[in-house]
A = this chain, B = another copy of it.
Amino acid sequence: MKDTANMSPAEIRAMIRNNEWIKPTSGMAKGFTQANLAILKKDLAFEFLLFCQRNPKPCPILDVTEPGSPIPRLIAPEADIRTDIPKYRIYRSGELAEEVTDIMKYWEDDMVAFLIGCSFTFEHPLMNNGIPVRHIEENCNVAMYKTNIPCVKAGRFEGPMVVSMRPIPEKDVVRAVQITSRFPAVHGAPIQIGNPARIGIKDINKPDFGDRVTIREGEVPVFWACGATPQAIAMEVKPELMITHAPGHMFIADVLDEQYSVF
């Protein structure tokens, strides 16, 4: 079995490109940033970029390719966005049409790929500080909820913010705020501490996306803006064609998580 945690991002991307890895990327190339993918045609790209610009907490952009170019020059200049993700989803008019392992045949000259930050980037620093990350302990997906917080509209893109929740021991809440504040480029500080009702969450045990996680005695639910927001909102626009990664099947960049910290 390959030691994928200690392989380089380039080695892992090569393995993925050759269809030797068609599984989730969690835990691979430890310390390196993983990113969400959203591909749109150029006529929607300006509005989507504007939407992300106006909503930086849920939509932290790590890279945007030049129209027609499949190369994410900023975060992985040797990569090809069309082949280097294990599994893609093709959406037509907002409906899932198929899942594929490369998108060469779907790629068009007016496509723009958005690589969007993911909370993995601040979960490692939390764990390095001895703060538990429940969904990793329970080996499931993070719990995500739709809120009553409206994103700032941009053109056709509008809708509520999606948040992720992590139960944090009460004594560690301040530290968790400090740690994630260091990463404004990847969701940053929490947006709510301890009061799900305040942001329109009716039942903490029924997440809208992902999995329910255990909240133990003495733990506080803490909410961060979530990178699922831009995808959920883009879907509502029902673009003729939109391509994303399949959940958990992320793009692995050449940038270290720590490089996104501001100090």
List residues of A whose CB falls within 8 A of some B CB.
42, 45-46, 49-50, 53-54, 61, 63-64, 66, 73-74, 152, 154-155, 178, 181, 184-185, 188-189, 262-263
Contact = CB atoms under 8 A, between A and B. Distances in A.
Nearest to A42: B46
22 contacts: A42-B46, A45-B46, A46-B49, A49-B50, A50-B64, A50-B66, A53-B53, A53-B61, A53-B64, A54-B63, A54-B74, A66-B154, A66-B155, A73-B152, A178-B263, A181-B262, A181-B263, A184-B185, A184-B262, A188-B262, A189-B262, A262-B262
Main secondary structure of the interface of A (DSSP, over half): mixed
Nearest to A178: B263
A149 to B, nearest CB: 15
Closest 7 CB pairs of A and B: A46-B46, A181-B263, A184-B262, A184-B184, A181-B262, A49-B49, A50-B64
Contacts of A154: 66
Contacts of A64: 50, 53-54
Contacts of A54: 63-64, 74
Nearest to A183: B262
Contacts of A49: 46, 49-50, 53
A189 B263 contact: yes
Nearest to A50: B64
Nearest to A152: B74
Contacts of A152: 73-74
Contacts of A63: 54
A151 to B, nearest CB: 12
A153 B17 CA distance: 27
